Amino acid sequence: MYKVKYSNQAEVDLYDAIEYIAKESVSIALDYLSGYEENINLLQENPFMGIECKIKLINRDCRVLIYKSHIIIYKINSEDHEILIIRVHHQSEDYKNTYN
């Protein structure tokens, strides 16, 4: 099983996303977070389940996992059995230009 780490920006991204959802409904935000965590747990067991970033037109050596309305960008370090969550973008963001 791989260990998951977050960049500082990914932590902020996730916090902002949950906070935004909670403005509408705390219950929905908690459900969203629970589902997100389930997907991250699956990722720990299957780090290659996300697609290569190039398929999403991101010119970077990384992978993309889609969870509902968010795009989770991560990098795998096979030697150390670690996954680094780089960013968590909402699908409406112009995230492609961030990396190109």
pLDDT mean over 67-84:
94
- pLDDT, residue 60, reads 73
Contact of 56 with 63, CB cutoff 8 Å: no
Give the angle subtended at the CA of 99 by the CAs of 98 and 100, to the nearest 5°: 105
- Domain total in the chain: 1
What CATH number does residue 55 fall under? 3.30.2310.20
Whether the per-residue pLDDT at 100 is higher than 50: the answer is: no
Q: Structure pTM? A: 0.86
The domain in which residue 74 lies consists of 3-99
User: Around Cβ 56, how many Cβ atoms within 10 Å?
Assistant: 18
Q: 26 CB contacts (<8 Å, ≥6 apart)?
A: none
